[in-house]
Structure formats: structure tokens, C-alpha cells
Structure 1
Amino acid sequence: MHKRLAFCFIVLVCWSFSFAAQAQQVDHDQLIADIKYLASEELEGRKPLSEGSLKARKYIKERFQSLGLTSQYTDYTQYFDFTNRRDGRTYQKAANIVGFIPGTETEKIIVIMGHYDHLGQRGEEMILGADDNASGTAAMMALAGYFAKNKPKHSMMFVALDAEEMGMQGARALVADFPFPLEQVRVNINMDMVSRNDDNELYAVGTHHYPFLKPSLERVAEGRLFPKLMFGHDVPGSGSQDWTNASDHAQFHQKGVPFIYFGVEDHPDYHTARDIFENIQPEFFKAAVDLILASLIAFDSDLLD
């Protein structure tokens, strides 16, 4: 009898841990479907103001609407103009797509973002940008889906940024026209290239500048081997190995807003026509987004005043 009770207890504990693990996962099927569509030839590489970019905007807005997200911007859209310093062209009505979930315990905000633009047509080649950065955009939508069902303590803003490849223009516009005082932002989470790495490594960049964020990440990473959460790439003076200003989080950092940038080291397909959906690593991608979700859940509790 005692052995039977002990066995039942072990089964119950294992089931509970399994249930808890499942509860802290994003919708993996939707995640893969999203990156596949965003990186498809139909979207033409999502260059700002292209037909493919407009389709990407529509897709993201419809997802936010289906999740019941609100926004501080009409139709979830923050329009902005900018001049590309490389070709001198002025782009009018580029667009960030912004969704919002109010917090249950504080008005402080966690901003979660990834840029949805890429390079588009380059000569005879279509540069589709699966890892860079359909992956970060799909991850952002997956996280929005999780927190739409599991209400966060902090308010959370989910942003698909435009024109990162043209000088972080979407992030510049967001920071310049942020709908709340920037002091309300506890941490900015940026995801840029999170769907593949041959060494099974995902970097969390920023803890050199904001060491108070590291204990939460270390706790999440403990015992987690797939992927391995790495730190670094944020030490001033380390040249190209310093990613502090490498992506959209830089615009928040320059205003003193703490950030964590999740990403992988460059691979041979970076900014080439080989960065396609077929070359992502789906199991790595799913596990990476689950790790980022666990980090967000930890920050949501640990950063309460």
C-alpha cells in the first residue's frame, strides 16, 4: 500500500512539473507558421514601404486584434518619416506596429520588440530575412499571445519595428514619440535573430550595463541546456564584439532605459539570400522563445517596486 502511494505521489509530482513546463510555453505551431509566412517570397523581404512590408504590417495588426491587445496608436500603427542616409531617399509613412496589455499590479512597463523589416530585393536576389528578423517578429507575437492569456503584473508593450536595417529608424521614432514617460519602462527586451545557432547558444546582452537584471536570467538558465544562455557581447571597448549598439535596443539604452538583447552570433547566411525559412533550426527556435518567455516571467515578478 505504501509503495503504491509513493508511486502515485511520484507520478503526480512528475505530471505537475510537466504541466508547469507546458504552461510556460508559447504556441509553437503558431510560432513556426508565423516565421514561415513572414520569411516567404510573398512578402518580398519586407523592405520598408514595399508591398511585402504592407502585408507584414497587416498580418501583425490582425494578430494583435485577434489577441485583444489595445494600443496607444490608432489601428496599432505609429507612422513616421525618415531619410535613408545611404541612398538619400525620404521614406514617408513607415510604420511601427504597437500592441499593449495593461498590468495587473503596476503601471511600469516592459517593452518587448523585434524589427519586421529586412533588405528586400538586392540585384537579382531576394533577401527574405528569416532569422533576421522574421524570427524576432514571430517571437514577439508568440509572447504577446502568451501574456494575452496570462495577464502580466507589469504593463507590456509589444512592438514590431520598421526600418531597423536603415539605421534603427523605427526604434528612433518609437523612443522620440513614446506614449508614456520613458521612466515608466523597467526593461526593454529586444529580439533580433533568435532562430538558429550551430553551437546551441542564445545570448542575453546587456547585463554588463545593467547587472541587476542578471540574477533573474541566471535563475532561468540554471539547468537549462537547450539552448545555453550566454552573457557578454556588451563590454565597452571590445569593438565589433560589443553589441550594445547593434540593434534597436540601442535607442532605449541611449536614454538610460535598461535592456536585454536576445540574439545569436552571426552565421554565414546573415544578410544573404540563404537566410530562408528552410535554414532555421525549428527546435532551437522554439526552445529559445520558451527561454525568453521564462525570462520575461521572471522579470515580471522580480522588477516589481
Structure 2
Amino acid sequence: MGVRILSIALFFCLVGAGVEAQEIDKELLLNDIKTLSSDTFAGRKPGTQGHQRAMNYLTARFRALDLKDFRQGYLDTFEIEDRLKGYNVIGYIPGQRRETIVVSAHYDHLGERDGKRYLGADDNASGVSALLALAAYFSEHTPAYTLIFVAFDAEEMGLRGANAFVNNPPIPLEHILLNINMDMVSRSDRNELYACGTYHYPHLLPFINTDNPVVTLKTGHDEPGSGHQDWTTQSDHAAFHRVGIPFIYFGVEDHPDYHTPNDTYEHIQPDFFYNAVLTIRDIVERINRNADLLKTRNSAM
């Protein structure tokens, strides 16, 4: 697989010192994941009442964060299959530039099967809660790039929401410099968080380092020929990669509760989750502090 552990000092001189620590509201972060993975939302399968409740919850949170909308509301509707619609939840924070980073996480899960509920705490209430935490942070810290926050629908049904977004984007695709996707970020017995995508886009390596002692940040899981261990096409970032938009996918390796009824709030690791979100936030902040570098390197690809 060729996993590469990143040194804190990786390209340190190129991108400058790590950003100062800023608060992420841990209590709110944990409340979001607990709520989204509760029985009330019943596994968030598209077409169910639980999914509708999740969609309403996210639109209310976007509104409370005062995110801007593109199309007279946060919902963007698309067809999953005959008589079944999907709903991406989309908002944005204007930056100092029109160039844009899309921050994404899917909010759907598996619902009920054979009388059992698949509540999807790690997969992917964790990513959506992280997205909300990042949106809250950057609402208070104006980014260099415009940031679009998307809670994608129907990822579990074949990346339908992400593909719908790329096929009918709210802005020209050429304005999107990067996708940062989060899918399963709340637990790791080894305290390992992966940043996948640098095999394809090595110019992103300088941005990926951390001084967070709780999280071991790794790259990998993106090399062709590694079968299921290649995550390049296994979550919503694949839709962006398909059209040549670079991505960084943050996630953890599969655990025994993946896609089982045991993927519940009680099995997440709150300290790891919080520190994973801080790590991702620091990387997004670092990219914003080196905006010209990212734009220049993307242009040179």
C-alpha cells in the first residue's frame, strides 16, 4: 500500500509555521454526531422519515451559521432513481477570492435492514458534524478562498449526490481548486487519520502535517493497483477527481463496526474525533494562509 507517515517538519520552510490553536466547540461537535446518529434519524436512508429529519436538521444548522445559499435555499434536488429524490445541502462562506474550496461529507446512511437499524455514527454522522464545526469556525475567521460546504446525499447508493453536484455545479468547475472530503473520522484504535489523495496530487503534500500529539496523520490508500485499499473512488471525492479537481480525503481505516448496527455514538472515540477535526481545520487554515501557493501549483499541474 505504501503508506507514508508524515513528519511535522515536512516542507516546513515552504508553508510556514503551523497555525495558532483556535477553539472548535467540542460539546457542539459531539451533540451534532449524537443527534444525527440517534434513533430519531433511524439511519438516514434516502426516502425515509429519518432522512427527512436529518435534512431538516442540517438546513437549520446551516441557517443558524448564516451560511449563504446559491439557489434560494440550501437544498439542491436531484433524482436518485425513479420516484426517489436526493437532496444535497449546500451553503457557502464568501472568501477574499472567487476561487473556491469545496468541503464535503455525506449525511445519508443505510437505514433499517432485517429489522435492525444502521445508525451510522462514524459513517458518516462524524464527517457531517466535522463539516458543521468547520463551517462554524470559518464563519468567524474569514477565509482567503470561498468555502462551499456540502452535505452530500446518496453516497451509499453510488456517490449520487456528489456526481449530481459536479454535473450541475452552482459555480463554474474551473473556479473549484480543491475538494476536502470527510468520511469516517471519529474513531481509530491506533489514533491514525489518513489524508488520501497526495499520490495523485503531490503538490498538496506541503499542506498536510500536524503538531497535534493525539493524531498520527498519514498519507496513503490512494495508489493504483492496491484494490480495496485504494480509496480514490470510494467516497464523494471521486466525483471531483473524475473531472480533474484535486482532493484530500480524510478518513480512518475500516473497523469491525463499519456498516453494522454497532456503528453507534457509544462506539466513537470523542477525544480522537475532536482532535481529528482540529487537525483537518489546521490543514484548511494552512491552505488559506498559503492561497497563492495552492493556486500556482494547481495551475502548473
TM-score by length of 2: 0.89
Residue 226 of structure 1 and its aligned partner are, at CA, apart by 1.3
1:52 to 50, 53, 76: 50
Provide the aligned C-alpha RMSD in A. 1.2
Determine the structure 1 residue equivalent to 2:28: 30
Residue 113 of structure 1 and its aligned partner are, at CA, apart by 0.6
SS of 2:73 mapped into structure 1: helix
Question: Which digits, 9 at most, give the CA deviation of each residue in 1:118-163, with x for residues without a partner?
Answer: 0000011000000000000000011000001111110000010100
1:99 to 91, 95, 98: 91
What is the identity, as a one-letter code, of the residue corresponding to 1:98?
I
Query: Does the 8 A contact of 2:144 with 2:291 survive in 1?
Result: no
Following TM superposition, where does structure 1 have runs of at least 4 consecutive aligned residues deviating by more than 6 angstroms? none
What is the identity, as a one-letter code, of the residue corresponding to 1:236?
P
> Higher helix fraction: Structure 1 or Structure 2?
1
1:301 aligns with 2:299: no
Within 2, Cα distance between the matches of 1:59 and 1:301?
Answer: 32
Determine the structure 2 residue equivalent to 1:14: none
Query: Does the 8 A contact of 1:126 with 1:273 survive in 2?
Result: yes
TM-score by length of 1: 0.88
Question: Which digits, 9 at most, give the CA deviation of each residue in 1:198-242, with x for residues without a partner?
Answer: 000000000011111111113xx2x43311000000011111111
Query: Does the 8 A contact of 2:45 with 2:111 survive in 1?
Result: yes
Structure 2 unaligned regions, length at least 5: 1-18, 296-301
Within 1, Cα distance between the matches of 2:184 and 2:62?
Answer: 22
Determine the structure 1 residue equivalent to 2:213: 225
1:267 aligns with 2:255: yes
Within 2, Cα distance between the matches of 1:162 and 1:67?
Answer: 20
Question: Which digits, 9 at most, give the CA deviation of each residue in 1:87-113, with x for residues without a partner?
Answer: xxx243310000111112x10001001
1:156 to 140, 147, 154: 147
Higher relative contact order (CA 8 A, sep 6+): 2
Determine the structure 2 residue equivalent to 1:86: none
The residue correspondences of 1:1-305 to structure 2 (distance < 5 A) are 20-21=20-21, 23=22, 25-83=23-81, 90-104=82-96, 106-218=97-209, 221=210, 223-304=211-292, 305=295
SS of 2:163 mapped into structure 1: helix
Percent identity of paired positions between Structure 1 and Structure 2: 49
What is the identity, as a one-letter code, of the residue corresponding to 1:52?
G
What is the identity, as a one-letter code, of the residue corresponding to 1:101?
I
Query: Does the 8 A contact of 2:179 with 2:237 survive in 1?
Result: yes
Within 2, Cα distance between the matches of 1:259 and 1:150?
Answer: 23
Question: Which digits, 9 at most, give the CA deviation of each residue in 1:269-299, with x for residues without a partner?
Answer: 0000000000000000000000000000011
Within 2, Cα distance between the matches of 1:237 and 1:20?
Answer: 39
Query: Does the 8 A contact of 1:233 with 1:241 survive in 2?
Result: yes
Query: Does the 8 A contact of 1:186 with 1:303 survive in 2?
Result: no
SS of 1:297 mapped into structure 2: helix
Tell which structure's C-alpha radius of gyration is larger: 1
